[in-house]
Structure 1
Amino acid sequence: MATIDLDQLTDIIAKAAAQEVLPRFRQLADDEVLTKRNAEGKEEIVTVADRAMEARLARDLTALLPNSVVVGEEGVSLDPTRLETLSASGLAWIVDPIDGTSNFSRGIERFGTMVCLVENHEAIAGVIYVPCAGQMWSAQRGEGVMLNGRAFDPGENGALRTEAKHDRGASAMGVLHLPADDAQLCAHAKTIDPRVVKPVPSHWCAATEYVSLLTGELDFLLYSRIMPWDHAAGVFLLREMGGNARFFDGREYTHAIHRGLLLAVREPARFAIVRNALDVPGRKADIPLE
């Protein structure tokens, strides 16, 4: 397995953000907020900061590991065939230069950078950087999660937050990103007992939502948009601290799967609680309910 210096990696990301992202925050001119076709063919916002950050990271990450390639959200939007690079063996960086671009473009602080290193299709390192919160989350496989260079204790941090959530009467709190084209599921979600599963508003930023899952502020995240740069780093960090992410059909998350309903949980036992609550009556479950 390839090894990297996490301090070097996080330093690369922090310096790139300091030079390419933060100087443009709340300073974007009208002609610096553009539109693009994403990997799914849908139109969405992109800024000059997104593209500058990805170009900077592509240069610096491949310099850190000369035999690696970068598969980034912005590069794939320009050339969708670049996503196929992830199906090849070797080392690849999965990069979301600015996750939460819409927030960033409107001057909202909920945005971050997500980077995951994969080797022969397996994630071996991950970073989520939320600059406005001053939080650099990082991990290498088998070594636990670091927050700003220090070991993060999920039990110590999560206990107080879990107690606070239970005081508000929720068994599991989290964000539901439901597929708009599944009318049955969207309607059913409105009937869920909040004492069992309590949906909370989205951050519109997977980076900060995964951080809230790591800290215990949230118990689960449900996503219907499954692109690798949105989830590879977050799921890797989550698994390194004992959580997990699975699809509704029972498959474990892998960055090679781009469709489905993905449920990420801080505590694996909560998967069944949330999954059961979301089961639409009369519709066959994708997996046996526990």
Structure 2
Amino acid sequence: MARSLNVQISARAAILARHLIQLILGALSESSERSFMLNINMEKVADIITDVADSQIIPRFGKLCAQDIHFKSKDNPVTIADKEAEKELSTRLLDLLVGSKVVGEEAFDKDQSISDRFSGDSPVWIIDPVDGTKPFIAGEPFYGVIVSLAEQNQVIASWLYDPTSKEFITAQKCAGAYYKGRKLSVLPADSVENMSGILGWRIHNSFEKKGVFLSSQSTPSIDRMYSSCHDYARLVVDGPHFSGQTTQVHFHSLLQTCTPWDCSAGVLIHSEAGGYTSHWNGKAFSPSHYGRGLLSAPSEESWHEIKNWLSSCCVFPE
């Protein structure tokens, strides 16, 4: 009897030991997966972004000469501010997180193979040094700086910065989205005709050509995109009034063609504020998915409702 009892106790001890080992291994794995996120000082990154904006961007606002502006392609300008800001941001962020890599908009324009960095093990900084280059050139304050950090092709931290008002929106994965210490949230979903949205300028133009913006009770309120930095800010309730606006219209949804530097930071902020984002084909967002249609909505259910309405108007990239 005693021997049988000892065998039972030993068997239970072995089972408990196995469970304990699994828990320890799981905790170590989770700790390893989160290591970069836990080691990132959000304020230090914000300080770097502010410093670079003060030295490379703001002094050039409204003061660009013709030789300071070039075109990567038709209707796609780049300025000396874009180039110099990305260069300095890249250097300082790489120094901040040893072993990390960078995918910047201007660097990608010269070498598209750098997008392969998303599939590697190193964390990747994603940089849009001057988001809204056209307004920046025109001397209009609807531009910003966008930085995010990805690990294993998933965005884990984000910064949207408006140099004019010197305001940030930030987010960390599983930790919420914040503005001046206040937690942000998206507008609640409503029926499609009562919701409002923002369209990327290429998609907006295709809508106009098809005459979609006819006044109708069944047509949602739709605005044209200014810059990703400002427009993702407009998707969150109680978000900042960037550029000193006294009033700000908040929107329910945003549809655009995905580029990692335009979308990565905003998608995380929108998600951490309670929203739902997916590629047009229903697949989850990843920063490596360049050129795919991307739709953000207050919820998964409203995402499908908005997509169905949009699909009746135009065809979008998968």
Please give the range of the TM-score, normalised by the shorter of the 2 chains.
0.7 to 0.9
Corresponding residue of 1:125: 157
Alpha carbons 2:198, 2:255 under 8 Å: kept: yes
Alpha carbons 2:184, 2:236 under 8 Å: kept: no
In structure 2, the CA distance between the partners of 1:198 and 1:19, relative to structure 1 (3 Å rule), is same
Alpha carbons 1:184, 1:280 under 8 Å: kept: no
Distance (Å, rounded) in 2 between the aligned partners of 1:255 and 1:144: 19
Distance (Å, rounded) in 1 between the aligned partners of 2:224 and 2:277: 20
Alpha-carbon distance, 1:13 to partner: 0.7
Q: 2:198 matched to 1:175?
A: yes
Q: 2:61 matched to 1:29?
A: no
Equivalent of 2:230 in 208, 216, 224: 208
Q: What residue identity is the alignment partner of 2:115?
A: L
Alpha-carbon distance, 1:190 to partner: 3.7
Alpha-carbon distance, 1:248 to partner: 2.3
Corresponding residue of 2:247: none
Q: What residue identity is the alignment partner of 1:140?
A: Q
Corresponding residue of 2:132: 100
In structure 2, the CA distance between the partners of 1:180 and 1:233, relative to structure 1 (3 Å rule), is closer
Partner secondary structure for residue 132 of structure 1: coil
State the TM-score, normalizing by the size of structure 2.
0.76
Q: 2:252 matched to 1:219?
A: yes
Corresponding residue of 1:142: 174
Distance (Å, rounded) in 2 between the aligned partners of 1:240 and 1:180: 26
Distance (Å, rounded) in 1 between the aligned partners of 2:171 and 2:307: 28
In structure 2, the CA distance between the partners of 1:52 and 1:241, relative to structure 1 (3 Å rule), is same
Distance (Å, rounded) in 1 between the aligned partners of 2:85 and 2:267: 22
Corresponding residue of 1:81: 113
Query: Deviation digits for residues 147-173 of structure 1, max 9, x if unmatched?
Result: 13x132427xx58xx9xx99xx95111
In structure 2, the CA distance between the partners of 1:126 and 1:183, relative to structure 1 (3 Å rule), is closer
Whichever of the two has the greater Rg, that structure is: 2
Alpha carbons 2:149, 2:155 under 8 Å: kept: yes
What stretches of structure 1 of length at least 5 have no aligned partner?
Answer: none
Distance (Å, rounded) in 1 between the aligned partners of 2:268 and 2:149: 10
Alpha-carbon distance, 1:69 to partner: 0.7
Distance (Å, rounded) in 2 between the aligned partners of 1:105 and 1:286: 29
Alpha-carbon distance, 1:86 to partner: 1.8
Alpha-carbon distance, 1:66 to partner: 1.1
Alpha-carbon distance, 1:45 to partner: 0.5
Equivalent of 1:17 in 53, 63, 81: 53
Q: What residue identity is the alignment partner of 1:144?
A: G
Following superposition of structure 1 onto structure 2, how do residues 1-290 of structure 1 map, counting pairs within 5 Å? Answer: 1=34, 2=36, 3=38, 4-37=40-73, 44-148=76-180, 150-154=181-185, 158=187, 171-177=194-200, 187=210, 189-190=212-213, 193-203=216-226, 205-215=227-237, 217-223=250-256, 225-280=257-312
Percent identical across equivalent pairs?
25
Q: What residue identity is the alignment partner of 1:208?
A: H
Query: Deviation digits for residues 39-66 of structure 1, max 9, x if unmatched?
Result: xxx6620000000110110011011101
Distance (Å, rounded) in 1 between the aligned partners of 2:105 and 2:316: 32
Distance (Å, rounded) in 1 between the aligned partners of 2:160 and 2:306: 25
State the TM-score, normalizing by the size of structure 1.
0.83
Alpha carbons 1:93, 1:117 under 8 Å: kept: yes
Distance (Å, rounded) in 1 between the aligned partners of 2:116 and 2:264: 16
In structure 2, the CA distance between the partners of 1:182 and 1:130, relative to structure 1 (3 Å rule), is closer
Alpha carbons 1:180, 1:186 under 8 Å: kept: no
What stretches of structure 2 of length at least 5 have no aligned partner?
Answer: 1-33, 239-249
Aligned residues: 271
The CA RMSD over aligned residues, in Å, is 3.0
